[in-house]
Amino acid sequence: MVRLARMRARLLRAWDNLRPTIRRDNVARFIVAVALAFALWAWVEATNDPETQRTISNIPVIPANLPPSLVVTSELPTVTVRIQGAQSRVQALESGAIQATVDLGDVTEPGMYTRRVQVELPARLRLREVIPPEVTLQIDRLAERADVPVEVTIANELPPNLELVSTQADPQTATIRGPEQRVNQVARVTAPIQITGQTEIVRESVALVPVDENGITVPGITVEPSTANVTVQLRIRGQVRRVIPSIVGADRLAPGYELAGPPTVFPTDEVVVEGPESALAAIPYLTTTPIDVSGWSESRILWDVPIDTSRLPAGVRVDPPTVNVSIQIRRAEESRTLQGIPVTPMNVRPGTTAELSPATVDLDLSGPSDLLDRLDPAEILVFVDVENADAGVYQLPVRVTLPPGVRFERVTPAVVQVTVRTPTTPVPSPSP
């Protein structure tokens, strides 16, 4: 209000000064009249529409002048602007009328670039501040890859009574375009289709999706064509049983060897047997075709061992028709007892002696027969650790060290009595 009063006083003083001139000169009268009218308008405008400020957030920053061979891969930032102007104009302003840009005309290579944000406002509005004043963008080169395979995928779980027979996509390949780094991530293009209620043939046009090796969608990629015509062949399953096949022949090892454990089937231990209910009822078990292990001397894994289907009824199907088999073998083991093995005292303190009772023990050993046959008693160390004990009587455990491949089962006795003595030194008689 003080500012408006001062403006009014200045206008009145100007009028008093110009009044004599206006009376003498018609042109001057016109000019003064226009100036006064403008001043009056400004005074009224300022009185009814004072200046104000406003802060507007989330204004998107638009890249400008980027060469067509490059593309922005980072998320486009937003800025907050503070503007000033007549209250009516500021309040009526919509955020869409504000344009924030960054000039990327000098960018020629991929990389990270920081540029100042440029803001354009409608007429008669003034920019006070931009927050942040600069933004950083990731720039990548545009790339294209043709002949990317199209893979049909079932987007939902099939009902238990249905099975997938075949899938087909038309076209079988697609072209992808986008930032070079993301294009390189694409392993294939999928055509995901939902199976809802169909039981035989499904034909549908589905959108193509670029994915990486893990099946995760790669964003920012354009696929051409964007859709594919997909055909899915289904069939209704018969009755199903899950059977663990028995492995035939794995126990027929050469002499001197034995199974280290039951043979296993992997990655799953079951196969699916499908067919008429009456036929399945007549199948008590399944077996593999015979495996010849007669010449084996070490564990092995056999891949794709066929299931024996020679005696299966007609109309019965086994899935999978082969299994992987792991057979763990080892040399056959036996037990042996060694009697009267001397026990050695270890770590006896200098100046002392150690007496053991009993001084020998019996050892129960186990291991491959050939190793036990070649075992030299000199390779066996049976001892007690006196641990530099002072003179006295101790009950100490017997410890055993054996060659590799031979296992210690039992020592009898497990504890022996150790008497540590300090030898008595004769005292010389005094001289006469």
Correct CATH for 239-331 of 2.170.120.40, 3.40.50.11900, 3.40.50.12280, 3.60.15.10: 2.170.120.40
Q: What confidence category does residue 40 fall into, taking pLDDT thresholds of 50, 70 and 90?
A: low
Peptide bond into 428 cis (omega under 30): no
* pLDDT of 377 higher than 60: yes
Mean pLDDT, range 152-174, rounded to an integer: 87
Indicate the angle between helix axes 2-24 and 26-48, nearest 10 degrees.
170
pLDDT at residue 148, as a whole number:
94
pLDDT at residue 78, as a whole number:
93
| DSSP-based helix, strand, coil % in the chain, nearest 5 | 15, 50, 35
pLDDT at residue 39, as a whole number:
56
pLDDT tens figures, 333-364: 788 899 999 999 999 999 899 999 999 999 99
Mean pLDDT, range 75-99, rounded to an integer: 89
Tokens for 110, please give them.
């991929």
Tell me the CA distances in angstroms from 363 to 92, 127, 380, 401, 404, one per residue in order.
101, 97, 10, 11, 16
Q: Domain boundaries in the chain?
A: 2-48, 52-132, 143-236, 239-331, 334-421
Mean pLDDT, range 112-118, rounded to an integer: 94
- The CATH classification number of 143-236 equals 2.170.120.40
* pLDDT of 2 higher than 50: no
Residue 248 and residue 291 in contact, taking contact as beta carbons nearer than 8 Å: yes
CATH topology of domain 334-421: RNA Polymerase Alpha Subunit; Chain A, domain 2 (2.170.120)
pLDDT tens figures, 122-147: 988 899 999 999 999 999 999 999 99
